[in-house]
Structure 1
Amino acid sequence: MRLNDPLVTSFSYRGVEYSIDLAFDNVLDVFDVLGDKSLRNQEKAEICLELLLGYSPTDQSLTVELWNYIYETFIHIESKQPLEYDRQGNPMPVKKEDDRKLIDLEKDAPYIFASFQQAYQINLHREQGKLHWHEFQSLLNGLPSETIMQRIILIRMWEPSKGESSEYKQAMRDLQNLYALDDEGAEEVDD
């Protein structure tokens, strides 16, 4: 996303101009479709194009090509670690990225909603159909540290270190279990 480029509402592919609805809630619906294990890939591509374009091409190979182009160009946001250079201009060693998933747009929805309300006074329900996916991503990535979502991310990232009391470590482990994204860390308690 560049600040001097308009938000994407249309694009050209193979000489054809397409209108596209990249409202954040529409893109979240696309993610729901992509996560549906009962659908085949071709069906997912067709449904996603219906959501984003309002229709799906009848040519199945074009459907897949067009979907892949849209996903890679407008939806998928890859977090690349910027290259750093030493004083002589040599590339510095790249730090290994943490593979842990720190946020889930579906499971963390209440915390994201509350954080947008707290930080930006934005009610995401009222912004459905309006707030562009790229705007949503930028605001989500820029949430201030005092928001609940950022605090939960810090909890998920926490690792014990020397000097921390055993009570603090246990409290943090309990919080990690409470906010765990995978089913392994969360324990269900029957009342």
Structure 2
Amino acid sequence: MKLNDPLVSDIEFNGVTFPLDLSFDNVLDVFEILKDETLENFEKVDSCCELLIGENELSFTEQSELFTFILENHIHSSEQQFIEVDILGNPMPNQEERVIDIELDAKFIYASFFVLGINLFEQQGKLSWTEFQALLEALPDESVMSKIINIRQWSPSKGDSQEHISEMRRLQKKYALPGTELEDGEEHG
């Protein structure tokens, strides 16, 4: 993200300029499509391209090339500390454990933005993905999402009381993401 560059609103591909809708809610729709196991890959690419650039006459190969470029340069370009994903939205192997899931943590994210005076429902179609990511990554420590991330990342320190450790383990279980391995060797969800 560069503050002296305008937000991207179109993209040129093979000599044609397409409008590019990178509003945060549109990008979240793209992620939902990529996770949809009922769709074939060509359907996912076609649907995602239609969301991002509108109806088009591009071949599947061209759509795939353009979609990959958009993902790499405009959607995953500043991918959060959350977790790196492949083109289909699947977590890459050997990644650090994820600490946030935009879909499962939606209510906490919404509440955290709302405290900042940003109603994400009112910002649909307006707030860009780049702006959304920047705000999400820089949430104040006192926001509910930051507190949950800290709980998920917490590990005991020398001098922590047994009472504090027990409370933090309870909170980690409460806020654990599915598939997360907890300290006691148990897996959540």
Q: What band does the TM-score fall into relative to the shorter chain?
A: 0.7 to 0.9
Residue 50 of structure 1 contacts residue 56 of structure 1 at CA under 8 Å; is this kept in 2? yes
**2:127 corresponds to:** 131
Partner Cα distance (2:99, 2:56) in 1: 33
Q: What's the TM-score, normalizing by structure 1?
A: 0.83
Alignment check: 8 A CA contact 1:112 1:149 kept? yes
State the superposition RMSD in angstroms. 2.0
Does residue 102 of the first structure (1) align with residue 103 of the second (2)?
no
Q: Verify: 1:45 aligned to 2:41, yes or no.
A: no
Aligned counterpart in structure 1 of residue 149 of structure 2, from 147, 153, 161: 153
More divergent stretch after superposition (42-51 vs 57-66):
57-66
Distance in 1 between the 2:47 and 2:57 partners?
Answer: 11
Give the conservation status (yes or no) of the 8 Å contact 1:113–1:123: yes
CA drift at 1:18: 1.1
Q: Secondary structure at the match of 1:121?
A: coil
Counterpart in 2 of 1:166? 162
Change (3 A) 1:80 1:152: closer
Indicate conservation of the 8 Å contact 2:80/2:137, yes or no: no
Distance 1:108 1:177 in 2: 15
The aligned amino acid for 1:129 is G
Q: TM-score, normalised by structure 2?
A: 0.84
Q: Which residue of 2 aligns with 1:86?
A: none
**Unpaired stretches in structure 1, ≥5 consecutive residues:** 82-96
Within 5 Å, which residues of 2 pair with 1:4-153? 4-78=4-78, 99-118=96-115, 120-153=116-149
For residue 19 of structure 1, what is the amino acid of its counterpart? Answer: P
Q: Which amino acid aligns with 1:161?
A: S
Change in CA separation of 1:14 and 1:171 when aligned onto 2, cut-off 3 Å: same
Identity of aligned residues (%): 47
Contact 2:24–2:125 (8 Å) recurs in 1: yes
AA paired with 2:157?
S
* TM-superposed deviation, 1:35: 0.9
Residue-by-residue CA offset, 1:81-127 (whole Å, 9 max, x unaligned): 9xxxxxxxxxxxxxxx9701011100110000000011x20000011
CA distance in 2, matches of 1:9, 1:71: 15
Q: 1:177 to 1:56 in 2, by over 3 A?
A: farther
1:47, 1:56 within 8 Å by CA — same for their partners in 2? no
Counterpart residue type for residue 174 of structure 1 = R
Q: Which range moved further: 166-175 or 49-58?
A: 49-58
Instruction: Return closer, same or farther for 1:98/1:49 CA change in 2, 3 Å cut-off.
Output: closer
- Structure-2 separation of matches of 1:135 and 1:178: 30
Would you identify which runs of 4 or more consecutive aligned residues in structure 1 move more than 6 Å? none
Question: How far did 1:183 drift?
Answer: 4.2
